[in-house]
Structure 1
């Protein structure tokens, strides 16, 4: 595949998983049908899977309507978006002028161009809204922000051509995901401190009750033989939510990409949670015997094959 056809995320996103994709790919199912990403954000894992030709069908969704409209515009009207971005100056007064515009008075392409421009020129790459749902990130200071990346936008448009893109709450994935599908949940992370909450990507935020609802959805998907992988912050709350036989919990090192204080950026521990054994030898052994490899099928880690030792639960 030509480098010009290798798409990467075209948006910055708090909690974006570019730095975590290696760990996620190491833990992916060997075989799956449709890929689902109900908190699509920057789509870092989707684009990585596409670049490595590990994906056949995908459904991307999010509750953030402006985000989803941006994906739709890149898929269906990419040249219009490129033309609009080419006319946008990098200027503080222009930034606040376009920030104040009502996105819902614009065309789909105009709304997407506004989203990309504000995302790439706003402070620290944040997407944040107030309780009225209005974007309120201040102007950033960059030498040459790359809000017009023609080659990558064209590559992203190509990658999205046969992808279903939906503006729906995460819990609706249970209505779409079929046995053998793979779902990646990248929710707004549970805060590790009072000052580290980046859940304002939607006016209603994402509270503990939402984390609990997400855990319940993961259980429902497990019962329906759907493969689930989820990333979240390493906190006692998240560990307690997933402390049950359905799930295996791994610690991984990730980069903290967004923090107002540079000294607090760097390596942190995050959790990657699955409802299936991630060891390739175990997956292959079970598949060869025609057995499912969801953890609920072997809750004690007793695999009925030569790979039983590798299936023992990880703490």
Structure 2
């Protein structure tokens, strides 16, 4: 039988399935293993092949399979090259005890490849429990199974397997030699070695007399580490044994409840397997050459907002620009600067944030195409209205601003609410919030008074001047890029899917050494944006803050689960994620989570220095100088 491309074969490859009943086979774990495999990889390599359940389920093209048992290797090679001969030979066998023992007694070394392959299938299908056991002289000695109607010949499965195997390199040899001679960066490798603890069933596992001792498992773990460093994706299965957890502690080890089919005690036919998912070590292969940003992108009014990516825009675009996309989602827009940068590159942008303040910025400058606030309108907002509630003047007296400034804030609040055009309201509120930032030392509201006054010009300007200057800055940023852009104030976890494009994710960074509570830092201006509706001010606090919004990114476990949900939800899009080396999940954990949903994951490290925010407390190893990681999944 000649070699036929899988894509040209008339056979239905979905009919391909394991040719043998296999003690310890992975059929029952396919639902756990297959989803963990990368969507794309160089080559599929399986050096402990056995029954090949994973191989036949994955159906890779140009794979490499191997086993140390010559009879097993002969079976697969012969099915690949002469499946019709194997089928013809199988037709000569009958499911009787006499035929079984006659075939069992044959000397396999004196048989042709076809006869030996057919003998292997026949004995497997008709012997007790499909086991393979040999005595000290190497003779097969499993008794007759006494099955009434075993399926000795599955012609469709054999023909489909033949096509698949004919496009596969089949090797008889030791696993380590196979891997060291063939594995390359980007390959996927499935390892299903004899299980721990060492027992008589280790023979059944590989259809061979060869044992696999604990020291062999230690050597196997060393080889897995080499493959990890090389850049291969490895999935390994074993029993839930302490040595397995010890050897693979740095990788993701998942315990799975399974059944055992070879125990003579029915009550003992349950067990726990583990799946070790070893992702390739990030190689930082994505080389970036940041280019100057469009002039339009530089017009976005800067802020000292915690975590703002203003200084990383060139690097973020250098990553994003390598992909073709028309639509972009900025899930955690924060200051709004990345959304605006993407808009300046002509993209249709959906800008989302759970902070009303952030959504106000992007309503004014991302969603807004051409509406501005005239100078006359801005001046009119500074004039006292007929009715004013004095909320800020009374609630926050003596905390952040002078009485006069608080009174002016209340005037602006009342007049802004009276504006009919939503974009004019957004511009005016953005300007008010910006004026509050500028007039506040360090631009945060975690303390009262002015003890951090560093003499900046912004602090000496009047609030009125700051507001009018901010209106001009926001007006100057308004433009139409010819696309429909949207600003959304909501939970990123509830944003509906859109057509595939690019999704930028810059969530609150979780670190056990510092907090990521944006509301705690910016509760006053967030209250302005919400007009303190739907929030509960904590009257007992000096700062009169309100309760922070619930977020999964406030814990390591919560952050990992949230990333997994988001990556799964937007798996059809290019994923670009900003995260800090000071934060958790760790780099390897982030790569592991993203690789569940994307076939390619790259990590771009960027040296970065935080001026303020959750990296600046310098507790232990928590430094301002960090590496900002840009994770890319595609």
* TM-score range for the pair, normalised by the shorter chain length: 0.7 to 0.9
Q: Partner of 2:190 in structure 1?
A: 184
Which fold has the larger relative contact order, with Cα–Cα distance below 8 Å and residues 6 or more apart in sequence?
Answer: 1
Residue 121 of structure 1: how far off its partner (Å): 0.6
After superposition, what is the alpha-carbon deviation per residue over 1:93-115, rounded to whole angstroms, capped at 9, x for unaligned?
A: 21111111111100000000000
Q: More deviation in 72-81 or 277-286?
A: 277-286
CA contact (8 A) 1:128 1:200 kept: no
Matched, 1:170 2:175: yes
Instruction: Specify the alignment match of 1:201 in structure 2.
Output: 207
- The TM-score normalised by the length of structure 2 is 0.43
In 1, Cα distance between equivalents of 2:206 and 2:603: 46
Report the Cα distance in structure 2 between the residues aligned to 1:74 and 1:32, rounded to whole angstroms: 26
Summarize deviations over 1:158-184 as a string: whole Å, max 9, x none: 111110000011111121011000110
Of 39-48 and 216-225, the range deviating more from structure 2: 216-225
The CA deviation string for residues 139-197 of structure 1, in whole angstroms up to 9 with x for no partner, is: 112111111111111111111111000001111112101100011000111138x6765
Shift of 1:239: 1.5
- Once residues 56 and 595 of structure 2 are traced to their aligned partners in structure 1, the CA distance between those partners, rounded to angstroms, is 26
Q: Which residue of 2 aligns with 1:33?
A: 42
Alpha-carbon shift at residue 260 of structure 1 (Å): 2.4
Aligned residue in 1 for 2:601: 287
Structure 2 gap segments, 5+ residues each: 1-9, 280-590, 606-626
Aligned 1:1-315 pairs, distance under 5 A: 6-50=15-59, 55-172=60-177, 173-191=179-197, 197=202, 198-199=204-205, 201-243=207-249, 245=250, 247-266=251-270, 268-276=271-279, 277-280=591-594, 284=598, 287=601, 304-305=629-630
CA contact (8 A) 2:35 2:596 kept: no
Determine if contact 1:199/1:206 at 8 Å carries over to the other structure. no
Alpha-carbon separation, structure 2, partners of 1:234 and 1:222: 22
Other structure's SS at 2:77 match: helix
Give the structure-1-normalised TM-score: 0.84
The structure with the larger Rg is 2
Aligned length: 289
Structure 1 unmatched ranges of 5 or more: 292-301, 308-315
CA offsets per residue over residues 58-79 of structure 1, 9 Å max, x none?
0010001100000011111111
**SS of match in other structure, 1:157:** helix
In structure 2, C-alpha distance between the alignment counterparts of 1:67 and 1:88, rounded to whole Å? 19
Using the alignment, how far apart are the partners of 2:216 and 2:172 within structure 1? Answer: 17
Cα RMSD (Å) of the superposition?
A: 2.5
